[in-house]
Amino acid sequence: MSSQTIGKVTATESRPTTCDVVRFWIDDDVILRPFDIVKIDHLHDSHTYAIVQGLHHMTDSPGHLASYVSSDFGSLQAEPLNKRLGTTVAEAHILFNTKEIEMPLRNGARVEWADIDGIRRALGLDSILQGIPGGWIETSNGQSVPIEFDARYLIGPEGAHLNIAGISGMAAKTSYVMFLLNSIYQSIGGDVSIVLFNVKGSDLLAIDRDPEALTDKVRDQWGKCALSPTPFRNVVYLYPFANRPHNCFTNSHNAIGILREQYEQGIASNYYYDVSTVRDYRILPLIFADVEDPTGTMESVFQAVCESDAFDRDSWGAFRSEVRQRTQAGQRGGRDISVQSWRKFSRILRTRTQGDLFTEKSVQAERFQELVFDSVIKHLPERRVIVVDIEPLPAYLQALVVGDVVNTIYRAKLGDFEEDVAPRELGKVIVFADELNKYAPKGSQSGGGRALTSTLLEITERGRSLGVVLFGAEQFRSGVHDRVLGNCSTNAYGRTSPVEIQKCADYRHFPDAYKATVARLPQGQLLLQHAVFRTHLIRTRFPEPCYYQPKA
Amino acid sequence: MPRVLQVLKESGLDCLSCEAFNLDYDRFQHYRDRDEHPAEKPFEDPLLEQGRRRLDETPPDVPTILRYFLDGSRRTYHVGDVIVGRRKYYPLVGGQVGVAVVERLADGHVTPLREFCEIRSVLAIPDQIPDADRGLFEERVNSRCRGTFRLLNYTVDPAKDAVDLAVARIMSEMHDAEIRVVKQMAAGNLLSGSQMLVIDGPLRFRKRFDIVQFRNVIGVSKSFRPTFTVGRGRKRVGVGTITSDLDFGERTNVFRVIGYDKVIGAWYLRLRDPARMSNPLQGVVKVEQYAIDPKEKENGLDGVRVDNVSRFLLRERNVTPYKIDRRWASHIYPIYLAETFLKTSFRSDMYFKALF
């Protein structure tokens, strides 16, 4: 018998093998765990591959009392002479047969470790035309198997969008997305632009700089994925404008030294919002995205503001003054919109646009001012990585910036800005939005109620064919809009809480062992689901980031 | 493939099929020691003064001398009937007989010794059928049917139930197999004073064989006939009375019993605390050993050796097939495993009956 043999198939009257499931007992000395892939002898000299979904150890003891009695009726000192008859039985999900035989496996069939080629074939990785390294599998017998995504299903056109969920602080979500974006850039960088939103500290504000130390371990990890451990190249940074000359006219929390270097290198600019940008019916509602508007009166106000020439002002002061006039009793033009609605609009507008971000274009070049639209349209054709820092902004302004960027990309792809950039020049655009639950919360309306949710739904439902791809991350999948999640052809599951596993429908079909695994995943590991994989989930490891990350 | 009865019929045996059914119900669960004669005096050297002795189990760090465990098992089925000489009507009884030996490894795990495990299918036919014909039938069945059968003849006795006689013949085949295995193990020098074999049940084989090869063999019975009496005259007392008084770890004197043509020493040992038992005889085993040397046959078994074996047997109480087997309190776990191994190796009832 082969030294690789680890067990034999067991098919019983109550637990038969089926086309989908096989159970096998394993040798006492074998260490196996969920997600391991095994190879099993089958009919006509074929082999079937299966992924372990659960393990249980059983003995012939019919109950705990028998165990108690077998220790001299509960004596802790008793040392039984005999070992009770017991074995560990693994339950595995069938992946693939080398001769496409779908008959259930036979009792007593030999089970052995699958080799690397076998595992790749079993998972469907051998049929991938354009692979994007996505990490590696570490098997219980010490093999490392590189995993790839199929570019056609990760970033279109066959399938697109990725969602990753998991609790914070486990070096999973952002680290994995950054690894994957790097992997995409290294694999097919010439065809892809990337837009990232920095939402935490200055995590993503120096991704073109080398890490402080690149250890052999990290090099080896990247080597396992056939990638080079290099930081991102061709990066530009967009910071929110603030009237702070000593901080390069931004309120970003990036280190001042790094900021200065970036401005000197010409790879940073400060975005701002002028009146004409905001006076767009796609942008203005974004500022009010979290404001309840059950009667839709605010929508009427948005329409009036965006369409009436009276609001076409060059300065924010004049614009606010025009709005304020509508709040006076007895004003003309207020037949459809009550004064109360104008007052509400005015109050919120005044509060939310009083920051430095809402300003006019200055002639001073050292302010590095640039409209979001201009930055995006300029950098996308150059296949750049655009990092937009929204961390200093309050949540409602973060939604504004994210919505503005996404809208701009989407409309550019639709050809709305053909005079500025032709859609074919843009290539594929990947947008990474962390804290997706803020922008596309579960249960929110796709209509006018939440403008940003509508945009994200548009992208996940129609962006695939246009080449606009959303990589979203959030702590809890249960908090994200079902249609956004449903359109993702790739999903990653980081460590999460048992409460979330119970609460979120997406975890309910996980086998129990997978649920236990996802609740205790260590750092640097994820469960992955991808359209091309022959199994629902695989457990993957990925390399540590290799760009500069400031210490917290 | 044709069925066995069809082949027998085509070979000239006038046999009739019937709805095959299993015969292994309680009628053969009588005490296998039911034919014992009363033992008038203890058979042990030196005698126990009180007629019993309290023993401590051997410490856990002492390797046990009970290393091998043998169990024989059989399944029998009434598979058809045969008409002999157009007058007599006899049952055909099919069966599976098997013997399994398991070895306990140093780590406490038990593993079967496959070279000493055998299972065979048999068919018992009345001895009214000539041996020459029996040979012919066996050859034809084995060449045309699925599986290999050994055809046995049972001796017809008008005073006894023919089915019982057929089953007894199959049992005899099982005992032959058990003896054969012990001989092979002894010939292979596997058995010694520190590597003994435990056989499930009493040492009553009703066969002629050389008992020297059984020197390092004991039989352990989970049940015994409580009405068996020991002592003489007014001191005669039933074993049930003696054993019900035994405390945990106590054994009785050895008693002399005759098994066919052999002298056997038998004693009773309580493996479990009587306070935990549901009846007074639960948790008591009967242990047997052949008296082999002339001195043993004359004076009885060596008391020191009996104590030693008993001490090791006491350690066998854990683990136990509690709730799996109603005889759990007296069951030796490796024997239980040998029995499980055998029974799970037999062809299923449905499969076996379908062969006919």
CATH number for position A238: 3.40.50.300
With 0-12 CB in 10 A as exposed, 13-18 as middle and 19+ as buried, what is A276? middle
**Closest C-alpha to A151, from A123, A191, A184:** A184
pLDDT digits (tens, 9 = 90+) for A197-252: 999 888 899 999 999 888 999 999 999 999 999 999 999 999 999 999 999 999 99
Instruction: Check the CA dihedral A37-A517-A200-A485 and report its sign.
Output: positive
The answer to whether position A125 is within a domain reads no
The answer to whether position A122 is within a domain reads no
pLDDT above 70 as % of chain A: 97
Do residues A168 and A59 share a domain? no
Do residues A214 and A285 share a domain? no
A84 lies within 8 A of chain B by CB: yes
The number of distinct structural domains making up chain A is: 3
Q: Which residues contact A106 (CB under 8 A, 6 or more apart)?
A: A9, A11, A17, A42, A43
Dihedral pair phi/psi, residue A110, rounded to 5°:
-75, 135
In chain A, count H helices and then E strands.
Answer: 19, 19
B64 lies within 8 A of chain A by CB: yes
Average pLDDT over all residues of chain A: 91
Q: How far apart are CA A79 and CA A95, in angstroms?
A: 44
pLDDT for B46 equals 87
Among left, alpha and beta (phi > 0; psi -120 to 50; other), residue B93 is: beta
- Substitution target from A65, A81, A87 for chain B, most B beta carbons within 10 A: A81
Do residues A374 and A431 share a domain? yes
Contact flag B322-A82 (C-beta cutoff 8 Å): no
Q: What is the DSSP annotation of A436-477?
A: HHHHSBTT--SSTT-HHHHHHHHHHHHHHHHTEEEEEEES-G
From A90, A114, A138, the end of a domain falls on: A114
3-state DSSP assignment of residue B135: helix
Residue A296 CA: distances (Å) to CA of A300, A326, A448, B308: 7, 18, 9, 95
A63 lies within 8 A of chain B by CB: yes
Do residues A40 and A99 share a domain? yes
- pTM: predicted TM-score of the whole model, two decimal places: 0.82
3-state DSSP assignment of residue A172: coil
Q: How far apart are CA B144 and CA B136, in angstroms?
A: 12
The answer to whether position A339 is within a domain reads yes
B68 lies within 8 A of chain A by CB: no
Beta bridge partners of A492: A164, A528
pLDDT for A449 equals 45
Do residues A241 and A295 share a domain? no
pLDDT for B33 equals 63
Residues of B in contact with A76 (CB under 8 A): none
Contact flag A84-B64 (C-beta cutoff 8 Å): no
**Shortest Cα distance, chain A CAs vs residue B45, angstroms:** 30
Widest CA span in chain A: 99
The answer to whether position A91 is within a domain reads yes
Q: pLDDT category, A3, cuts 50, 70, 90?
A: low
* Most confident stretch, A56-70, A164-178, A365-379, B183-197: B183-197
8 A C-beta contact, residue B334 and residue B110: yes
Contact flag B104-A82 (C-beta cutoff 8 Å): yes
B19 lies within 8 A of chain A by CB: no
The answer to whether position A14 is within a domain reads yes
Contact flag A82-B60 (C-beta cutoff 8 Å): no
Residue B22 has pLDDT above 90, yes or no: no
Contact flag A66-B334 (C-beta cutoff 8 Å): no
- Substitution target from A28, A29, A64, A69 for chain B, most B beta carbons within 10 A: A69
Task: Give the pair of three-digit tokens for residue A177.
Answer: 């997305």
pLDDT digits (tens, 9 = 90+) for A168-197: 877 689 999 999 999 999 998 788 999 999
pLDDT for A445 equals 59
Do residues A109 and A164 share a domain? no
pLDDT digits (tens, 9 = 90+) for B54-69: 999 999 899 999 999 9
pLDDT for A550 equals 83
Do residues A60 and A84 share a domain? yes
From A325, A352, A379, the end of a domain falls on: A352
B1 lies within 8 A of chain A by CB: no
Do residues A49 and A108 share a domain? yes
Q: Which residues contact B192 (CB under 8 A, 6 or more apart)?
A: B216
Do residues A304 and A198 share a domain? no
Beta bridge partners of B92: B80
H or E element in which residue A493 lies = strand A490-493
Q: pLDDT category, A447, cuts 50, 70, 90?
A: very low
Residues of A in contact with B107 (CB under 8 A): 83
Do residues A261 and A393 share a domain? yes
The reply to whether omega before B158 is within 30° of 0 (cis) is no
Beta strands in chain B (DSSP E): 15-22, 44-45, 52-54, 66-84, 88-104, 110-112, 118-126, 149-154, 196-200, 217-221, 229-230, 237-238, 250-252, 255-259, 262-270, 284-290, 301-302
Q: pLDDT category, A106, cuts 50, 70, 90?
A: very high
pLDDT digits (tens, 9 = 90+) for B319-331: 899 988 999 999 9
B322 lies within 8 A of chain A by CB: yes
pLDDT above 70 as % of chain B: 96
pLDDT for A444 equals 65
The answer to whether position A211 is within a domain reads yes
Residue A139 has pLDDT above 90, yes or no: yes
Q: How far apart are CA A201 and CA A210, in angstroms?
A: 18
**Shortest CB distance from A83 goes to which of B107, B273, B315?**
B107
Residue A412 CA: distances (Å) to CA of A128, A416, A426: 30, 5, 8
The answer to whether position A20 is within a domain reads yes
pLDDT for B198 equals 98
- What is the residue range of A233's domain? 147-273+364-503+514-541
Residues of B in contact with A12 (CB under 8 A): none
8 A C-beta contact, residue A533 and residue A161: no
Residues of A in contact with B319 (CB under 8 A): 61, 67, 70-71, 80, 82-84
Contact flag A66-B320 (C-beta cutoff 8 Å): yes
Among left, alpha and beta (phi > 0; psi -120 to 50; other), residue A171 is: left
Residue A49 has pLDDT above 80, yes or no: yes
pLDDT digits (tens, 9 = 90+) for A243-277: 999 999 999 999 999 999 999 999 999 999 999 99
From A89, A114, A139, the end of a domain falls on: A114
Q: How far apart are CA A159 and CA B355, in angstroms?
A: 57
Residue B30 has pLDDT above 90, yes or no: no
Question: CA of A66: which chain B residue's CA is closest?
Answer: B322
Residue B355 has pLDDT above 90, yes or no: yes
Task: Give the pair of three-digit tokens for residue A396.
Answer: 């409602």
Do residues A269 and A373 share a domain? yes
For residues B21-41, give the mean pLDDT: 64
The answer to whether position A341 is within a domain reads yes
Do residues A378 and A409 share a domain? yes
Residue showing tokens 């086309």? A19
